[in-house]
């Protein structure tokens, strides 16, 4: 023994429990292959391919010029919190005061901190699967226990009342609900939200984390005001709901890192305290940009949504024409969650049998030069997620390559 300790034993148990995000890993693998000179089309990314609109970029530059480069209040500038309150009122019919809103470094940070201030060891968090990759790991990182509830394709990838009821125990602290969903695009109707709300009303210890980050990317032609928020359907849940949103997806501002949470004042105060002892405020310049985004012209939002819809329709047609693959029509967000069950058991030209969706995505990366994320990372197999937040040309070419690679498989 040389006395050197095992490096992994330095790490806290909460860190040893978690793993890197599979979607980031897939994007990084695609970037690495590109650096090696391979021609890779990435369908792995979870961010808009549009640039942040010019007035928003300009607002950030103006803020720098005005010297808005110092610390702000931990919970965000009063102006931005007011703009968030105005947005929630106008678009969602929900009334929140400044003390019930906190600005965070992206929506991800808001979710993490909401869990961090509420979970004790062994507390359970219900996560309907397929889920956004980070929910279970964020739960584990905060000493909680994710309780995964399978929501299969046959139920539209949505949580059903009896399954929710069966998953609730005295230790349940949260239900996480994400509509429209990453990775499936599943979108809950008012009636489906009513069912979820009714179950929650029977279990007062369960809090609701409503992740609304994709709320503006919808394909049913409705405006936000026409859509019903679960809190508008059941106002009694307000006292135990934390609503999560941000500017990343709607305004193509993923790199600016501005998200927010709205919820009961005691929870928001606890998040504020944790944030004051960790990251402090989100970037002052980004907050100025987010303010311009929320207060500015919104006319491009439905236009972008329509662009995503056209891409989704095109990609769906292509994917559903490939033998062995099938995909439901998503209600929103910018992903297709493709069933690749028909490829499992088939053999590559080298004689390797595809045994899982991970094998399928590796095969397509190597043989079609198309990167995507395996369904196992989202808690449901055999599927893969493709992001359509890329140009129509790349969608067309990527689907052509997938079709060709699939045709090269032996039955
Ligand atoms: C469902 C969901 N929630 C939250 C986030 C995080 O958003 P942000 O970039 O604002 O942290 C993402 C990003 O991929 C997401 O897909």
| Residue 341 sits in the same domain as residue 272 | no
The pLDDT, as a whole number, for residue 5 is 56
Across 75-117, where does the E strand assignment appear?
A: 101-104
The pLDDT, as a whole number, for residue 1 is 42
Distances (CA, A) of 231 to 194, 201, 266, 271, 341: 10, 12, 18, 21, 37
| Residue 264 sits in the same domain as residue 177 | yes
Does some domain include residue 88?
yes
- Could you list the residue range(s) of the whole structural domain that residue 357 is in? 13-51+300-407
User: Does residue 186 register a pLDDT over 90?
Assistant: yes
Does some domain include residue 7?
no
Q: Could you say which of 240, 271, 295 is where a domain stops? A: 295
Name the residue of 249, 252, 333 whose CB sits within 8 Å of the most ligand 1 atoms, as the mutation to test its pocket: 249
pLDDT tens digit sequence for 7-19? 668 999 999 999 8
| Ligand 1 centroid, distance to 254 Cα (angstroms) | 9
CA atoms of 405 and 409, how far apart (whole Å): 7
| Ligand 1 centroid, distance to 3 Cα (angstroms) | 43
Across the range 64-71, mean pLDDT stands at: 98
CA atoms of 402 and 322, how far apart (whole Å): 8
User: Does residue 285 register a pLDDT over 50?
Assistant: yes
Q: Could you say which of 295, 326, 345 is where a domain stops? A: 295
| Residue 375 sits in the same domain as residue 240 | no
Kindly list the protein residues whose Cβ atom lies closer than 6 A to any atom of ligand 1: 46, 106-108, 132, 178, 182, 211, 213, 246, 248, 254, 259
| Residue 67 sits in the same domain as residue 145 | yes
Across the range 345-360, mean pLDDT stands at: 95
| Residue 41 sits in the same domain as residue 59 | no
Does some domain include residue 8?
no
Domain count, the chain: 2
Does some domain include residue 371?
yes
Across the range 119-126, mean pLDDT stands at: 97
Comparing 23-32, 109-118, 203-212, 300-309, which segment has the lowest mean pLDDT? 23-32
Q: Could you say which of 273, 295, 317 is where a domain stops? A: 295
Lookup result for tokens 């230790």: 171
**Phi (first) and psi of residue 73, to 5 degrees:** -55, 145
397 Cβ contact partners less than 8 Å away, ≥ 6 residues apart: 41
Which of residues 196 and 411 earns the better pLDDT score?
A: 196
User: Does residue 149 register a pLDDT over 50?
Assistant: yes
User: Does residue 224 register a pLDDT over 70?
Assistant: no
- Of all residues in the chain, what percent carry a pLDDT higher than 90? 91
Lookup result for tokens 């693998």: 29
Indicate which CATH number applies to the domain containing 209: 3.40.640.10
338-372: b or e for each residue (b if 16 or more CB lie within 10 Å)?
bbbbebbebebeeeeebeebbbbbebbbebbbbbb
The pLDDT, as a whole number, for residue 2 is 45
Name the residue of 213, 261, 379 whose CB sits within 8 Å of the most ligand 1 atoms, as the mutation to test its pocket: 213
| Residue 307 sits in the same domain as residue 329 | yes
pLDDT tens digit sequence for 354-399? 999 999 999 999 999 999 999 999 999 999 999 999 999 999 999 9
Across the range 131-154, mean pLDDT stands at: 97
User: Does residue 228 register a pLDDT over 90?
Assistant: no
The pLDDT, as a whole number, for residue 115 is 98
| Residue 191 sits in the same domain as residue 99 | yes
Name the residue of 21, 22, 48, 108 whose CB sits within 8 Å of the most ligand 1 atoms, as the mutation to test its pocket: 108
| Ligand 1 centroid, distance to 148 Cα (angstroms) | 19
Across the range 46-71, mean pLDDT stands at: 97
User: Does residue 3 register a pLDDT over 60?
Assistant: no
pLDDT tens digit sequence for 161-178? 999 999 999 999 999 999
| Residue 258 sits in the same domain as residue 139 | yes
Does some domain include residue 358?
yes
- Of all residues in the chain, what percent carry a pLDDT higher than 70? 97
| Residue 63 sits in the same domain as residue 38 | no
Ligand 1 atom nearest to 23, measured from its CA: 14
Cβ atoms of residues 158 and 188 within 8 Å:
yes
| Residue 286 sits in the same domain as residue 305 | no
User: Does residue 335 register a pLDDT over 90?
Assistant: yes
The pLDDT, as a whole number, for residue 206 is 98
| Ligand 1 centroid, distance to 216 Cα (angstroms) | 13
| Mean pLDDT across the chain | 95
Q: Give the model's confidence band at 227: pLDDT under 50 very low, under 70 low, under 90 confident, else very high.
A: confident
């Amino acid at each position: 023994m040389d006395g050197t300790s095992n490096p992994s034993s330095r790490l806290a148990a909460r860190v040893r429990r978690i793993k890197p995000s599979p979607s980031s890993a897939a994007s990084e693998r695609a970037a690495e292959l590109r650096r090696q000179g391979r021609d890779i089309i990435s369908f792995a990314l979870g961010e808009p391919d549009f640039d942040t609109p010019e007035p928003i970029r300009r607002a950030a530059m103006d803020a720098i010029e005005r010297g808005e480069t110092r610390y702000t209040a931990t919970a965000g500038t009063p102006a931005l919190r007011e703009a968030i309150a105005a947005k929630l009122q106008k678009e969602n019919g929900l009334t929140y005061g400044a003390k019930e809103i906190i600005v965070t470094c992206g929506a991800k940070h808001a979710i993490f901190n909401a869990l961090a201030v509420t979970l004790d060891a062994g507390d359970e968090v219900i996560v309907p699967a397929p889920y956004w990759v980070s929910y279970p790991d964020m739960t584990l990182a905060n000493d909680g226990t994710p309780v995964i509830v399978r929501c299969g394709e046959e139920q539209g990838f949505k949580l059903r009342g009896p399954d929710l009821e069966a998953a609730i125990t005295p230790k349940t602290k949260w239900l996480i609900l994400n509509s429209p969903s990453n990775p499936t695009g599943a979108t809950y109707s008012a009636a489906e939200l009513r069912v979820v709300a009714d179950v929650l009303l029977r279990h007062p210890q369960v809090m609701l984390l409503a992740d609304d980050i994709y709320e503006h990317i919808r394909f049913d032609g409705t405006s936000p005001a026409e859509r019903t928020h679960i809190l508008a359907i059941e106002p009694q849940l307000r006292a135990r709901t934390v609503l999560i949103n941000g500017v990343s997806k709607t305004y193509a501002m993923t790199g600016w890192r501005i998200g927010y949470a709205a919820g009961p004042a005691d929870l928001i105060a606890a998040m504020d305290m944790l944030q004051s002892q960790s990251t402090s405020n989100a970037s002052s310049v980004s907050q100025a940009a987010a303010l311009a985004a929320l207060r500015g012209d919104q006319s491009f939002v439905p236009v972008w949504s329509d662009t995503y819809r056209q891409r989704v329709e095109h990609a769906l047609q292509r994917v559903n024409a490939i033998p062995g693959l099938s995909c439901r029509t998503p209600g929103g967000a910018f992903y297709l969650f493709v069933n690749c069950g028909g490829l499992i058991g088939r053999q590559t030209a080298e004689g390797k049998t595809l045994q899982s969706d991970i094998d399928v995505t590796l095969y397509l990366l190597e043989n079609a030069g198309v990167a995507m994320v395996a369904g196992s990372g989202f808690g449901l197999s055999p599927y893969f997620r493709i992001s359509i937040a890329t140009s129509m040309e790349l969608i067309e070419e990527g689907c052509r390559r997938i079709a060709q690679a699939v045709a090269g498989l032996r039955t």
